[in-house]
Amino acid sequence: MTAEARAFREHLERPDFQLGTIKQQWRLLRVAWPTADFAIRARDGTEWGFRFLLDGYPAQLPNARLCDIETGAPLAAEYWPKGSGRVAAAFNPNWNAAALYLPCDRMALPGHEQWIVEHPELLWKPASGIVHYLEIIHDLLASFAYFAPVRPAA
């Protein structure tokens, strides 16, 4: 096991990660280093899949994209979470279908250096690691800016 994978596993054993799992905010689906898939629960109970690219962990920012919970395949843009404000901005496949539009994502931060001053609470924190990114996504999906998917009547 690499030092990067070991650091990631250590973060999964921390109480803050375990608490999120116990509270059913998220759950680990699978790890195939350097990727890890998680399901993150929205306020309506919908679980959304996210695949994280973690090479260079925890020093390097990760990259997260939406994925199918069962297979890990990229989630088609029409199935991404919907919302207003911060939710609409973060989950914007028209910006980049391979990343979330967040300061803690390696694909989003370049070119948005103003985020360092404007959103320091959303920057990647190597000491907190994956838990911080999971908390940011969960907060968005638990907010009232998130729109629950419309399901057809039975």
87-125 tens-digit pLDDT = 999 999 999 999 999 999 999 999 999 999 999 999 999
Q: What is the pTM of this model?
A: 0.94
Locate 74 and state its tokens.
């990229």
Cβ atoms 42, 141 nearer than 8 A: yes
The closest of 114, 109, 79 to 97, measured between CA atoms, is 79
54, 99, 100, 104: the catalytic one is 104
Distance CA 31, CA 52 (A): 9
In this prediction, residue 1 has a pLDDT band, given cuts at 50, 70 and 90, of confident
Residue 154 has pLDDT above 60, yes or no: no
**Catalytic: 67?**
no
